[in-house]
Structure 1
């Protein structure tokens, strides 16, 4: 399984994110930050156990093309498929559709796909692909040194109840390292969308957009819908023109958390969203540093007629050379009568510092463009060292560009980190005398479904948080 020491060291690296442009100049003249990289919580130990009654199948020769077909292999229940270590031309995994049990595809040694080659995944249900199959190897599936635009991992056809984890990418110069374009037209039936997709413990360096799921909600049609997609424990860094790290174009109940992104978009001046997501869900416990662009551009709507929520909380966003910490926006084109509706949003307990404007466009904690009827609450956020420009040069917390003013309260801004009582600009911990310490509005009064979102009860470093007297910002 995973070497715990190496995981902890890898996860001590901070990271950052943006929009969807190819990165032709990545990997040159990377300047490392002078300050120490923030310590982040050790992710929970992977608790997934492989059933003892699993059938074991060994495949691969260590080279050439490898095809794993569930129909040909007769996979019908709990199965472990071990891929022999080596460098493969291509790998295809298809037609593993299990009503009961799980198929685990594991590395047996280091499995690499080098250059302009690809792993293709098609028609999978209850399948986990994991690179933690060999003790002493952190990330047992490695994709590197790619220059063509074709995805390193291409998802096709029906993909449900699927997990990809313990994978690494390096020097992958492509628009989308992991891509899914289902083209399903949503009609409410389970066959018209994909669900329960997880992408966990992935490292990426000098790489283009890591994950892109195509989809749309417009002209009366909903296509490419993915429900319950989780991206967590991502470590993404040193990519000069990536734009967006993760782009989800039609997602319901996304769960984006505990990701680190740093040192990106030094050569990209577009209005980037490091996480660019359309739909609704949660964005929390993410560390974004030394970057350009909004940490998340959340373009918001709900599938169906019941308004859902966008929650943005417990994030640290520091040292952006352009743009605010977060963006919320909704478009009339996404409001389809009887099919979609607005969301309500809450932005709370975030820490944002040293954010620079782009020319006359200011940088604050939140850019709010309006939610097509939805309401926005902004509270318990901490900001420091912003440069206000343009027409909105008095409000350090949010830039309101929509028709409905937000409900904003218990936010604090300081000229410097020291004035905020932050004892260092590495961990961003609050000193005992900080004006932000235990000064937040009670979380129990904010209509938050705390039992459904337990991370609200902790800060970004997993320190328990008082729900009645929380501190302001992401750090208790």
Structure 2
């Protein structure tokens, strides 16, 4: 080989090495504006156990019964249900004592028509439709023509999750129903706890979740402690009334749900989320609807008042009623067993809410008597509320009882354009909006660190100053 040839080969090798090195440098993508980023879905709340026993069950048709006692299921187990169309599925008597038991789809599991999955006596169990790559909702219920719950829960249900499920075209009073029979006495076996309902789609259905219970006459029945409902999409239900009903709950955590195009044919006083107890309601989007986004009827367990927190929600285009309702009834206050709550309603964006029958006002908040509880209303943005009736001077809240809130840094505008909102879909703020960085300091609220983490971002997850926030749900 000549010196000249070796030189050419050397140069060629250098060029190839440089090209390869350059190709490893990632191309920088132009980031989307913060308000155009979708809200990220949650990670699976229960990790698949390591070295789990795997049970492959089902034939893809007929009836499937999974009894933990019969099959000897204790914990650290993954149950894979073969895809297909089933007449019914029963899952019972499973106690994941040390590690969870996960029930997954293996392919698309369908229950078409008047079919059910019945669940009873489950602890530390997750039913998840994420078992097959490429199928985001691996359990599908559709085309039900008679009443009856597609998911029917009975007996003791604890530390339990349903996720990655779809409901379509169901004539039913409730998609997921539970009527706990326990009478609360303070012991762990007198209530259900740690329930999660995540990544669920509903299109033209009845109520998604309906849990029976009560707190009156010195008896608390059917109590649920710590329930999370998140990343639900609920739409196209013209007469549903309520999407979620929880009648006796301590510490609800309801967030990142999207509710659209419902109750077009209903004129009842509906609460889309109808909740009796205490907890948090935040980062929810409710639009083109009828009824309050939340009817929060309030009480706390024991003698120490808890809180109802309503923040970072977008509520727009209601045919009737205000965005939120707060109310406490004397029947729910039982000395030695329950007491009142303190409530805070802040950093919400609410607009184009129409009065009931042209006479009952629609504003950000309907505030009834709190039976001793305090209420704070701050940093809320409202627009386009026709002020009617005897309460026609205050566009922020409707005073319907003797509890008077402390109020500051709320702003009202005739239109969303006047508020400096760029559109009524994403509700982004223009740079010159009068609501930008004009809110009261959230840091003065002395929230605990877990709450500060939630409150220091807006609806879209964009960082929010706790000392100088913007008004409304979007920074």
Q: TM-score scaled by structure 2?
A: 0.91
Q: 1:453 to 1:204 in 2, by over 3 A?
A: farther
- SS of the aligned residue for 1:428 comes to coil
Q: Aligned equivalents of 1:67 and 1:186: distance in 2? A: 31
> Is contact 2:323-2:353 (8 Å) kept?
yes
Paired residues in the alignment total 440
Which runs of 5 or more residues in structure 1 are unaligned?
1-36
More helix by share: 2
Shift of 1:139: 0.4
Q: State the partner residue of 2:163.
A: 165
Shift of 1:98: 2.2
Q: State the partner residue of 1:324.
A: 322
Shift of 1:275: 0.2
Q: Equivalences for 1:364-403 in 2 at 5 Å?
A: 364-403=363-402
Which runs of 5 or more residues in structure 2 are unaligned?
1-34
Q: Aligned equivalents of 1:452 and 1:352: distance in 2? A: 22
- Aligned match for 1:51, one of 49, 52, 76: 49
Q: State the partner residue of 2:269.
A: 271
- Aligned match for 1:85, one of 63, 83, 86: 83
> Is contact 1:251-1:278 (8 Å) kept?
yes
- Aligned match for 2:106, one of 105, 108, 118: 108
Q: 1:38 to 1:145 in 2, by over 3 A?
A: farther
Q: Aligned equivalents of 1:141 and 1:387: distance in 2? A: 44
Q: 1:209 to 1:321 in 2, by over 3 A?
A: same
Q: Aligned equivalents of 2:179 and 2:62: distance in 1? A: 27
> Is contact 1:450-1:457 (8 Å) kept?
no
Q: Aligned equivalents of 2:304 and 2:65: distance in 1? A: 43
Q: Equivalences for 1:54-133 in 2 at 5 Å?
A: 54-133=52-131
Kindly name which structure, 1 or 2, has the bigger radius of gyration based on alpha carbons: 2
Q: Equivalences for 1:41-440 in 2 at 5 Å?
A: 41-46=39-44, 48-359=46-357, 360-440=359-439
Q: Aligned equivalents of 1:128 and 1:432: distance in 2? A: 45
Q: Aligned equivalents of 1:334 and 1:205: distance in 2? A: 34
> Is contact 1:39-1:427 (8 Å) kept?
no
> Is contact 1:38-1:426 (8 Å) kept?
no
Q: TM-score scaled by structure 1?
A: 0.91
The 10-residue stretch of structure 1 (71-80 or 39-48) with the greater mean CA deviation from structure 2: 39-48
> Is contact 2:114-2:145 (8 Å) kept?
yes
> Is contact 1:244-1:272 (8 Å) kept?
yes
Q: Which has the higher contact order (CA 8 A, sep 6+)?
A: 1
